Structure 1
Amino acid sequence: MNNKKTPLDQFEDAFIDSVLNMSESELDEELREMELDPEAAITRTKAAIAQGIIKANKANFARTRSQLADAKARLASSSKLGDRSGAVARFEKLKTGDPDLSNRMMMAARKGKGLSENDVEAILEDLDDLEKLEKGDDGK
């Protein structure tokens, strides 16, 4: 990477420094000499800064949204593409080992109306995650 500044970059830096180092009265005088209203210049400058902040925030939001979508896709693909036989077997073992477990899960999940397909899928995903943790596989 080339860190050397061109003469134009050096001029720009010097110009910015000179403006930043001016007192308020010097800056007002400079603007009036250029036939500009200092208050209008301040208003336009604040508006430009606000627009820049909005633009940067929108870009950050879009990048974050994209990262979230990527993370969700990775999680969904890792849990749905994996072999569920171990999780299913574990779930069945849990149900048969405790005859009241099935009833308690139904009561908790649906107030006595039974487990839905989504409920079972969520339980299987949880069991699959537990199995991965036990094996030391964090999915990465």
Structure 2
Amino acid sequence: MVIVSGAGRPTPPINRLADELVADIMAMSDAELLAEVEAEGLNVEDEADRIRAIISTATARSGKSRLQAARAEIDRVAGTGRGQVHRLPLRDRAAVLARFANDDTKLKSRLTMAARNGEGITEKEMDDILADLRELGAIDEDGNPI
């Protein structure tokens, strides 16, 4: 068993020692391992519970770390699809939408319907429409028509 330290890099001595210790433990039979634990004056059940807790904690940390990495990747990918337009001030984003609303009757109707109900389009709806326009290639990252 080898602990990976990186491509082409030598394994630090402490990692080689840990590898050897793990290999020795893994090579032991259950009876040998139990005898070793008892010889150390330790309670087998307590040690088993302690090791299970260590493994459980490490598994949970690893899972959280992988989840955070996945969320970061989703945010990164989502951000690249939206470009910079979602970072523009609200009035500038509204101006980009207004330009397209004048040429797109369906969009104009949607915006007008929202105004008639006394509710303006929400900022999230605006960002979603702008993201769609960006993905369709209708606008660039800054909201300019392409």
TM-score (norm 1): 0.60
2:26 aligned with 1:16:
no
Measured at CA, do residues 69 and 23 of structure 1 come closer, stay the same or move farther in structure 2, by a change above 3 Å? Answer: same
Aligned AA (2:100): R
Return the offset for 1:105. Answer: 6.5
Aligned AA (1:133): G
Aligned AA (1:19): I
Larger fraction in helix = 1
Cα distance in 1 for partners of 2:129, 2:29 equals: 68
Structure 1 residue aligned with 2:121: 117
Q: How does 1:1-140 map to 2 (within 5 A)?
A: 2-6=9-13, 8-65=14-71, 75=82, 77-81=84-88, 87-95=97-105, 102=109, 106=113, 113=117, 116-118=120-122, 121=126, 125=130, 128-129=133-134, 133-134=137-138, 139=141
Gaps of at least 5 residues in structure 2 are 1-7, 142-146
Higher deviation after alignment, 40-49 or 68-77: 68-77
Question: Percent of pairs identical after alignment?
Answer: 16
Measured at CA, do residues 21 and 77 of structure 1 come closer, stay the same or move farther in structure 2, by a change above 3 Å? Answer: same
2:38–2:44 CA contact under 8 A, matched in 1:
yes
Gaps of at least 5 residues in structure 1 are none
TM-score (norm 2): 0.59
1:79–1:128 CA contact under 8 A, matched in 2:
no
Cα distance in 2 for partners of 1:123, 1:40 equals: 55
Cα distance in 2 for partners of 1:93, 1:126 equals: 18
Measured at CA, do residues 62 and 117 of structure 1 come closer, stay the same or move farther in structure 2, by a change above 3 Å? Answer: same
2:86–2:127 CA contact under 8 A, matched in 1:
no
Q: Which has the larger radius of gyration?
A: 1
